[in-house]
Amino acid sequence: MDGSEYEPLAEIEVDQVKPERQGFTLSGQGPDNSEYQLDLRFEMPLDQRTRTVLGELLSQSDLIISRRAPARLCRRCASAVTAHHNASWRKNP
């Protein structure tokens, strides 16, 4: 890591938590009145009690989405990343 700071992109007040097969879909509104959705997936099965408790906790939450700008890539690396992204997008549009 290069030590650069994370930049906040959105702060969302969760309005709705919808249980899904492998997790939850959280929906809410940001201070800019835009609507946001976050899919939260787990790689393990959740029993009903755990699902209920997590759903309640998540419904009382706020989300802050932040990112750190990627380190500069060499041209060859950037081309490889772009090609991989484009190939993945074509498979799963």
What's the pLDDT band for 1 if we cut at 50, 70, 90? Answer: very low
Q: Kindly state whether residue 1 falls inside one of the protein's structural domains.
A: no
Mean pLDDT of 55-71: 90
Q: Kindly state whether residue 70 falls inside one of the protein's structural domains.
A: yes
Q: How crowded is residue 70: how many other Cβ atoms within 10 Å of its Cβ?
A: 10
Q: Is 89 helix (H, G, I), strand (E, B) or coil?
A: helix
Report which of 3, 48, 56, 53 is spatially closest to residue 26, judged by C-alpha positions.
56
Q: 21 pLDDT exceeds 90?
A: no
Domain count, the chain: 1
**Structural domain boundaries, residue 12:** 7-91
